[in-house]
Structure 1
Amino acid sequence: MSPENRPRPGASPAPSPARALRVGAAKADITPADLTGLHPMPGDFRAVHDPIFVRVLHLDDGDTEAALISLDLIEAGDITPLRERIERELGIPADHVVVTATHTHNAPRIADVSPGALAHAGGPESRAYTESVYDRVVDALGRARAAARPARFGAGTGRADVNVNREQYVDGRWVIGQDPDGPSEKSVEVLKFEDLDGVPIALVVNYAVHSTVVFGTSEISGDLAGAACRHIEDVLQDGRGGEVVALWTPGALGDQAPRIDLGVPFGVAPDERQKARAYAAMEAQGLLVGAEAVRVARATRDLRGAVRLGAGQRAVACPVKAGRDVMETMRQETVDTVPLRLSLLRIGDVALAGVSGEVVTELYRRLRARSPLTRTLLVSIANDRIGYLPDEARFDRPVHSVNGCPIQRGHVESAVVDGVLDLIAACGPDGGAR
């Protein structure tokens, strides 16, 4: 008997039969009309280079409803108010909703900073923008739910080498640079959803990289993730059905940078030639990931129309560690504990494991090695963004992911790995969380 099918305390004695899957997807433009006060870093946005979107996926197996929401934003803080609004207005349980951000640094942030978290808090303009984004998310999810139709699901894995470990030891100190020999997860994970006539509905793409190719241009952009999604949606839109939606989910990106970026020190205004090169690099690297996702999707033919869904969430109170050598605009509230939010969407033997921080490569690899499921995809910045989340061994070095971690040593790895494994067990083969 495989690990995932072994009886667990509290589990049903026999799993219920797989159910017919219904899927809907939609997207909406969330480009701010007024850019004033919306840059989460020092400085201001001065223009819009390319629009940013929210993309949503609605899943229903007849007993369990769940939703995945991907925002072209640098981050979303405590997103509990949005999830609770979705439950009130649409009836989808709040703990069945996972919200993540693509982590493009050329976009605003939304929602409040959790007590103890290390993040850039927004002002009144950010709060107003947050409410407008919430409205568009709820509208898009309502449209996706209304458009849901019988569907098939499959998963596949590809590879793209556009990320590189960014924690580099230079001249006796650790810096954010490029270490080609450092750990780096190159997998492009793809979840494919199509209707019973073979018309694509949505792709979920999971990849580990900071979308920071054009960071420093002071222009709104979906960056690398946005370029990848545009390519996928353009190629898979074949005219036979509605809009294809590509949802980007950030993997273990806490220590991963794009291979090519603007190349100008932060705070130094680039000239037009430098900006043009950066946007060309953005499109090229996005194309590489997007094209690989399309290839994987087209090669994924073992699709199932009957799967069981499971969903659940939990919060772990972790002892706070103060940030060190972080940006001067970053503030951390003085409290004893910070909430680490964990979430899970399970589609048959595939799990999307959400963690409310920027997880590093080695921590994800430990989780994946211990997971009993066929595929366990890690989604960073899910339902909150409290800071970086390094593995235990990394605390021996004063690297950026440790300096920017708000949780004390000895608590991060166990909270993430054991917490997700507990959720996998709770969201077992008989459906929703028990």
Structure 2
Amino acid sequence: MGMGKLSAQGTNADKEFRAGAALSVITPKIGTSINGNFQEGFTQNIHDDTHARGLVLDDGQTKIAIVTLDLCMVYRETLDKAKKRAAEYTDIPVENMLISAIHTHSGGTACAVFGSTPDPDYLVFLEERAADAIIRANNNLEPAKIGWGVGHEPSEVFNRRWKMKDGITFTNPFGGEDKVRMNPGFENPDLVGPAGPIDSEVPIVSVQSIDGVPIAILANYSLHYVGGTKSGDISADYFGMFANSIGQMIGADHKNPGFVGIMTNGTSGDINNINFGGTAPKKMQPYEKMEIVANTVAAEAYKVYQDITYHDWVPLASAQTEVRLGVRKPDAAELKRAKKILAEVEGEKLLNRDELYARETVFLNDYPDKKDLILQAFQIGDLAITAVPCEVFVEIGLEIKEKSPFGQTFSISLANGYNGYLPTPQHHEWGGYETWRARSSYLEVNASNVITSNLLGLLDQLKSSAITSR
């Protein structure tokens, strides 16, 4: 498909820049499904409320909205409805709205994956609250200044996929052999080394009122999530803790309208917080590790924040396109094998790994042959943000950063929908959990190349438009 709709400003006479931010609670009710585990889990307690966190920017001609939802993942259909509702109450075009999930594994279920099934009422609630975050942020617009920068925090990110020694393989749920294993355990003698890099960058965007009152900080880190909650707890994971921590550090945690801290999930499809190259860590209390990660990353963000140069006005622009990608569907033999495995399951017992993937195979047989994905790029001055509706592998984010025509670039995963993991073709060849065909990983093997080239095309489109409009 060709390049999509471009929205940008030409010359702006009065050059007033405005910004607004808002929080909207999305905490699920007790008794409903929790997303993120192979088996179904249910909400028993609220450790910390989960939120939609909205930021609206306005350069006088173009408005963009960025929202995070404290969820594991969320359907495109839900987000499309939320954008439509927000557009009815604001003058922000739907293609200028970027709504992403943070990927907490202790949030309400907004997407059926493995054992988790969403409550239909919760999906309607999410449509309303995601839209409200944009509407309320738009209502809070005030003259503002904006700046950005990037820090580095390598201590909390590790590639979780490991290469096995020659001749050593790991059996996958489909009867095949993988050369790479996710989360392979500590001091495993069969390991060679990580199967990919990390991205240690901590980009932040800081927005303040004209007189220097903090409005929002939008951050990005390529870390899957941390976890370590109590069973049945709802929590926004380290993402929510980061938001609180950075607000405290800059002295903005008691302002009205409230300061909004936002941590977006970068390209973390193959990245987590566990160093399998080291020794097994000591057992921690629930939420202890999460707090360490949140405070460590917030401290790095604070260092960047202290040196930011603010701009009274910067140009905003957005570009969006849709790509149609193939679905990796089972063939007749694979479907027959899956049905045979499921036929041998007795009663209501919990499904084991191979049984779960057999069920996923049956589900995917009913998927369409192609799926349409929204790809997006935003320009904020010489900063660019790209958005992908997948759990994007870190190599892809690093390539986009390297090839982007903008001074600073970062990517937001799980944005504008959910289409599973996005490994590279090389990682598909190696195998491993993230490549196993399921509702959590089903796009064609070449999907990452198509997505990367389209995103780089959107960035070039934004850059050339910015040059010609000067």
> TM-score scaled by structure 2?
0.78
Tell me, yes or no, if structure 1 residue 258 matches structure 2 residue 273: yes
Query: d(CA) in 2 for partners of 1:137 and 1:167?
Result: 33
Tell me, yes or no, if structure 1 residue 297 matches structure 2 residue 330: no
Q: 1:409 aligns with which of 442, 445, 451?
A: 445
Query: d(CA) in 1 for partners of 2:229 and 2:323?
Result: 32
Worse overlay, 18-27 or 401-410 = 401-410
Give the aligned residue type for 2:414.
Answer: I
Query: d(CA) in 1 for partners of 2:464 and 2:316?
Result: 8
Q: Which residue of structure 1 aligns with residue 42 of structure 2?
A: 44
Give the fraction of aligned pairs with identical amino acids, expressed as a percent: 26
Q: Which residue of structure 1 aligns with residue 137 of structure 2?
A: 144
Residue 429 of structure 1 and its aligned partner are, at CA, apart by 6.3
Q: Which residue of structure 2 aligns with residue 61 of structure 1?
A: 59
Q: 2:401 aligns with which of 368, 373, 396?
A: 368
Q: 2:11 aligns with which of 10, 16, 23?
A: 16
Query: d(CA) in 1 for partners of 2:206 and 2:401?
Result: 21
Q: Which residue of structure 2 aligns with residue 163 of structure 1?
A: 157
Residue 392 of structure 1 and its aligned partner are, at CA, apart by 2.9
Change (3 A) 1:321 1:142: same
Query: d(CA) in 2 for partners of 1:243 and 1:236?
Result: 13
Give the aligned residue type for 1:75.
Answer: M
Query: d(CA) in 2 for partners of 1:298 and 1:403?
Result: 44
Residue 39 of structure 1 and its aligned partner are, at CA, apart by 4.0
Does the 8 A contact of 1:154 with 1:191 survive in 2? yes
Matches within 5 A, 1:65-144: 65-78=63-76, 79-110=79-110, 119-120=113-114, 123=117, 126-144=119-137
SS at match of 1:75: coil
SS at match of 1:296: helix
Query: d(CA) in 2 for partners of 1:367 and 1:121?
Result: 34
1:310-362 deviations in Å (ceiling 9; x for gaps): 11322100111148978546543432112232112211111110001011111
Query: d(CA) in 2 for partners of 1:120 and 1:80?
Result: 23
SS at match of 1:56: strand
Q: Which residue of structure 2 aligns with residue 306 of structure 1?
A: 313
Does the 8 A contact of 1:40 with 1:108 survive in 2? no
Does the 8 A contact of 1:309 with 1:346 survive in 2? yes
Moved runs in structure 1, 4+ residues, more than 6 A? Answer: 323-326
Query: d(CA) in 1 for partners of 2:195 and 2:328?
Result: 29
SS at match of 2:291: helix
1:177-232 deviations in Å (ceiling 9; x for gaps): 16668411111111111111111111111001111422673311111212111101
Residue 396 of structure 1 and its aligned partner are, at CA, apart by 2.1
SS at match of 2:204: strand
Tell me, yes or no, if structure 1 residue 236 matches structure 2 residue 255: no
Give the aligned residue type for 2:66.
Answer: L
Residue 159 of structure 1 and its aligned partner are, at CA, apart by 1.4
SS at match of 1:203: strand
Q: Which residue of structure 2 aligns with residue 208 of structure 1?
A: 222
Does the 8 A contact of 1:164 with 1:182 survive in 2? no
1:50-70 deviations in Å (ceiling 9; x for gaps): 221111001111111110001
Residue 33 of structure 1 and its aligned partner are, at CA, apart by 2.6
Query: d(CA) in 2 for partners of 1:169 and 1:34?
Result: 41
Give the aligned residue type for 1:89.
Answer: Y
Q: Which residue of structure 2 aligns with residue 283 of structure 1?
A: 291
Q: Which has the larger radius of gyration?
A: 2
Query: d(CA) in 1 for partners of 2:148 and 2:392?
Result: 22
Residue 44 of structure 1 and its aligned partner are, at CA, apart by 2.2
Worse overlay, 389-398 or 352-361 = 389-398
Q: 2:29 aligns with which of 28, 33, 37?
A: 33
Q: 2:424 aligns with which of 366, 387, 391?
A: 391
Q: Which residue of structure 2 aligns with residue 424 of structure 1?
A: 459
Change (3 A) 1:224 1:90: same
Query: d(CA) in 2 for partners of 1:243 and 1:369?
Result: 35
Residue 122 of structure 1 and its aligned partner are, at CA, apart by 5.8
SS at match of 2:160: strand
Tell me, yes or no, if structure 1 residue 317 matches structure 2 residue 324: yes
Query: d(CA) in 2 for partners of 1:189 and 1:322?
Result: 37
Give the aligned residue type for 2:261.
Answer: A
Residue 147 of structure 1 and its aligned partner are, at CA, apart by 1.4
Query: d(CA) in 1 for partners of 2:128 and 2:6?
Result: 38
Change (3 A) 1:277 1:344: same
Q: 1:218 aligns with which of 208, 211, 232?
A: 232
Does the 8 A contact of 1:252 with 1:364 survive in 2? yes
Residue 282 of structure 1 and its aligned partner are, at CA, apart by 0.9
Q: Which residue of structure 2 aligns with residue 172 of structure 1?
A: 169
Give the aligned residue type for 1:16.
Answer: T
Instruction: Give the count of matched residue pairs.
Output: 403
Residue 400 of structure 1 and its aligned partner are, at CA, apart by 2.4
Query: d(CA) in 2 for partners of 1:289 and 1:181?
Result: 24
Query: d(CA) in 2 for partners of 1:419 and 1:236?
Result: 38
Unaligned ranges ≥5, structure 2: 171-179, 185-192, 277-281, 335-352
Query: d(CA) in 1 for partners of 2:417 and 2:70?
Result: 15
Give the aligned residue type for 1:162.
Answer: E
Residue 413 of structure 1 and its aligned partner are, at CA, apart by 2.8
Query: d(CA) in 2 for partners of 1:162 and 1:50?
Result: 22
Residue 109 of structure 1 and its aligned partner are, at CA, apart by 3.1
RMSD over equivalenced CA pairs, Å = 3.0
Tell me, yes or no, if structure 1 residue 379 matches structure 2 residue 386: no
Does the 8 A contact of 1:32 with 1:129 survive in 2? yes
Query: d(CA) in 2 for partners of 1:409 and 1:75?
Result: 21
Query: d(CA) in 2 for partners of 1:55 and 1:364?
Result: 23
Unaligned ranges ≥5, structure 1: 1-7, 114-118, 262-272
Change (3 A) 1:355 1:39: closer
